[in-house]
Structure 1
């Protein structure tokens, strides 16, 4: 049996999502137990059910690549990875993960009669028969609770369960539609209506994941879409729809799908130009080419205080901290100031991606040191890009070594112990102490 939800909007769009009834009415949360959810927004703050201010100090853990399961499990067990992230087992003191997924995973579930595909099929599909079988065997050796018939979502379930055991918030992010490396303006995933970016399948996928994750007690929030950007491979689409008015239409559609499926979770909205700007939303300016302005009441979840803004920043060549801070302020962090001024929309704002090469010296530069000081003073949550030491496959290269990864290629050590032990752990402590 399936439950179909439909949300009509005055922009002429219909949101339809099909939610498995076995997931629909499950909510394991209990009052006054960690994570003390569901969370709500309170001006620039996020608060739990006992009124405490909640900040995220987290890391991105990708699961949106061609295999479509969280990376690194051929090298370490889920428990071992999570223990190094958090604080309960002597880790580095982070309290959140941004777990990414591809809409393709949900599309394949629907195409398969509502059943997810197995790890055996996922690895062969993503890496080929020989390498896929080899890497799967490595995953099973490190994670013996799984078998070749375990499904992809059961791996996501296991990650979420371990995060709950170690008191780490789970934030899920729709990173891309087609499972692959992200992001480029010509990759077919850039904008609603692009080659792989079907708006109705996107809404359906968001609703499915929001509903499925109801069974995860550590699940607290969801991002609607990673890095909306100009679809340069489709000039007519870019000319006709790449604008704030269209953004507003589809963000409302996505929020409607998520809120109907799971009204407890926070919903994150990302901006244009690879999510580097949300200026008209924050400054209450017209959402061009229309004269309409952002209205929280238009967003399902808005009146329930469920909407959060997210930004990305990769100004790694910054030579001035004040200039970097001004850019962040003007692109969206103005919403977090204690005295924002007339007409400013006040929201919690998070930097859900920033990162740089994890070598011996880059972290000593302006970009990394500036963010390490700026974000805690803004009481702004953040997720560094990226946890992985390597990817199952990235841009056609298997076992791709990630120079920006916190882990070494084999996921056994920190790639830059100077940064992790000397800067990142302090940044987390400073963020969570405020």
Structure 2
């Protein structure tokens, strides 16, 4: 038996051994627009990061700088339970038997080869699919799920509209070879149980996009995938860089089984140039309206039981531009409101080779350039609410709300005596509800303002309808400002502490040119039925 075949057999056997004792209940399925464990019906929320493995080396990035075990440990340290591990079609159709070493030598990446030899020497003699499987197995041992994303056909950086990988019929995107690649991949992934989903194609784009080809080819590939591997979820993206699924309103996808169908979408701050030159309230409202119109509608469309997976969103974590920060705060409210599954772009701090540059940096990555620390130490605090499951179709608990402050990532909590309120961690932060013009906590205490700018907000057991000090209304284009009794004062985070105060409302009118920063006054009632 060839050495490569023996290694593959060992991987599959080890995978089966791990599967017998793993704590997750695989496979996954769909119920009531949620991803759930098929056996228990319990919600499984995907909270992921993208880990590219689709570029010219066809190997998960970063293995020239850190051991695989260290990288996987770091993924868990971010609070993530999933990675979207990308792959190119040609890895299965043209390079199935080629080793990592051969590819590195072909690309003349001597420095990268030496790094992999130092940190992960065993990978060099693996074929590309074997290396992919080995990474998946290591993720399995850390209870991390994998979305296997067909990112491109030809291994390279993605994406340009004219790069040959954009749509069916492009120079590197032959539909028959693509279906063949999915058939081989689905069969190969069958014994890797933590590959819970296959994303059929990343960011369709370019002048050849058309509805007829989308339906024909997506249905054909889905049939092949499900035949080879009936356990995996199948994730479908739309047009224009995964930003548009509106064609589904006219013609349902009609892929069986429907309890394996998920839709995905992407969003980035540079898609809307107005974040830096128009009111953040109006831009946020526009962005969320566009998301709802173009992709979010699947969550309310009766023709689909499918969830929505925001499988890419991210920003420059080095520059941290104010416009990007405003985008992120707005995006967090979109994700939190319906507890949407999500995946940050990206995990990687560098690439082996990107657009001709060896060891190229990635400013969007959670890992730093050396993969030994993070560029975003605030990640777990900022994302703490989204790292939790907020809505579960199997829960018997009644719904209440969390009063969320997305700029900080914190939640509004009262002290033990129900006097002062402040921002704190989001554990046990539910119990808020809106009843008319009252914002109530645990049904019997109301949010109040003392009526003067800069004074702290409080909670009180006096919730009488005639009490105007406890009258509040969500206002502004974004709908995220909580104004007190039409006074022009809004709930706000104190600049020097975690206490909440009332201050003059920022940019809540119709002046779209108001460029003051309103984020400290953005609050959201997020529904939850998870205790």
Residues 107-133 of structure 1: per-residue CA shift (max 9 Å, x gap): 224xxxxx52112101122x31xxx23
Structural mapping, 1:12-91, within 5 Å: 28=16, 33-48=22-37, 49-86=39-76, 91=77
Pairwise CA distance, 1:183: 0.6
Task: Work out which of the residue numbers 78, 93, 97 in structure 1 matches 2:79.
Answer: 93
Pairwise CA distance, 1:23: 11
Distance 1:303 1:378 in 2: 24
**Residue 231 of structure 2 corresponds to residue 264 of structure 1:** yes
Distance 2:126 2:15 in 1: 24
Structural mapping, 1:347-362, within 5 Å: 347-359=306-318, 361-362=320-321
Distance 2:233 2:198 in 1: 6
Mark the CA change 1:122 to 1:173 in structure 2 (over 3 Å): closer, same or farther: same
Pairwise CA distance, 1:405: 1.4
Q: Are the counterparts in 2 of residues 377 and 431 from structure 1 also a CA contact under 8 Å?
A: no
TM-score (norm 2): 0.66
Pairwise CA distance, 1:262: 0.5
Distance 2:153 2:146 in 1: 20
Q: Are the counterparts in 2 of residues 228 and 274 from structure 1 also a CA contact under 8 Å?
A: yes
**Greater shift after overlay, 174-183 or 135-144?**
135-144
Pairwise CA distance, 1:137: 2.2
TM-score (norm 1): 0.80
Mark the CA change 1:410 to 1:25 in structure 2 (over 3 Å): closer, same or farther: closer
Mark the CA change 1:136 to 1:23 in structure 2 (over 3 Å): closer, same or farther: closer
Residue 235 of structure 1 aligns with which residue? none
Distance 1:174 1:263 in 2: 18
Residues 199-221 of structure 1: per-residue CA shift (max 9 Å, x gap): 11111111111111122121100
Distance 1:23 1:413 in 2: 29
Residues 358-383 of structure 1: per-residue CA shift (max 9 Å, x gap): 03633772211122232132121111
**Residue 283 of structure 2 corresponds to residue 294 of structure 1:** no
Q: Are the counterparts in 2 of residues 388 and 402 from structure 1 also a CA contact under 8 Å?
A: yes
Pairwise CA distance, 1:103: 1.0
Residue 91 of structure 2 aligns with which residue? 105
Distance 1:397 1:139 in 2: 18
Structural mapping, 1:17-416, within 5 Å: 28=16, 33-48=22-37, 49-86=39-76, 91-109=77-95, 116-125=97-106, 127-128=107-108, 132-144=109-121, 146=122, 148-231=124-207, 238=208, 242-281=209-248, 283=249, 285=250, 293-296=251-254, 299=255, 302-303=256-257, 305-316=259-270, 317=272, 318=275, 319=280, 320-337=283-300, 340=301, 344-359=303-318, 361-362=320-321, 365-416=325-376
Residues 73-98 of structure 1: per-residue CA shift (max 9 Å, x gap): 00111111111111xxxx01011000
**Greater shift after overlay, 58-67 or 205-214?**
205-214
Residues 35-85 of structure 1: per-residue CA shift (max 9 Å, x gap): 211111113111112110111000000001101111010011111111111
Pairwise CA distance, 1:255: 0.5
The CA RMSD measured in Å over matched residues stands at 2.6
Q: Are the counterparts in 2 of residues 43 and 346 from structure 1 also a CA contact under 8 Å?
A: yes
After the TM superposition, list the runs of 4 or more consecutive aligned residues in structure 1 that deviate by more than 6 angstroms: 20-27, 29-32
- Structure 2 counterpart SS, 1:374: helix
Q: Are the counterparts in 2 of residues 35 and 169 from structure 1 also a CA contact under 8 Å?
A: no
- Structure 1 counterpart SS, 2:23: coil
Mark the CA change 1:204 to 1:310 in structure 2 (over 3 Å): closer, same or farther: same
Residues 21-41 of structure 1: per-residue CA shift (max 9 Å, x gap): 999999949699532111111
Residue 15 of structure 1 aligns with which residue? none
Distance 1:85 1:21 in 2: 27
Q: Are the counterparts in 2 of residues 31 and 37 from structure 1 also a CA contact under 8 Å?
A: no
Q: Are the counterparts in 2 of residues 67 and 392 from structure 1 also a CA contact under 8 Å?
A: yes
Q: Are the counterparts in 1 of residues 236 and 263 from structure 2 also a CA contact under 8 Å?
A: yes
Distance 1:122 1:412 in 2: 26
More strand by share: 2
Q: Which runs of 5+ in 1 are unaligned?
A: 1-19, 110-114, 232-237, 286-292
Residue 381 of structure 2 aligns with which residue? 422
Q: Are the counterparts in 2 of residues 65 and 102 from structure 1 also a CA contact under 8 Å?
A: yes
Residue 439 of structure 2 aligns with which residue? none
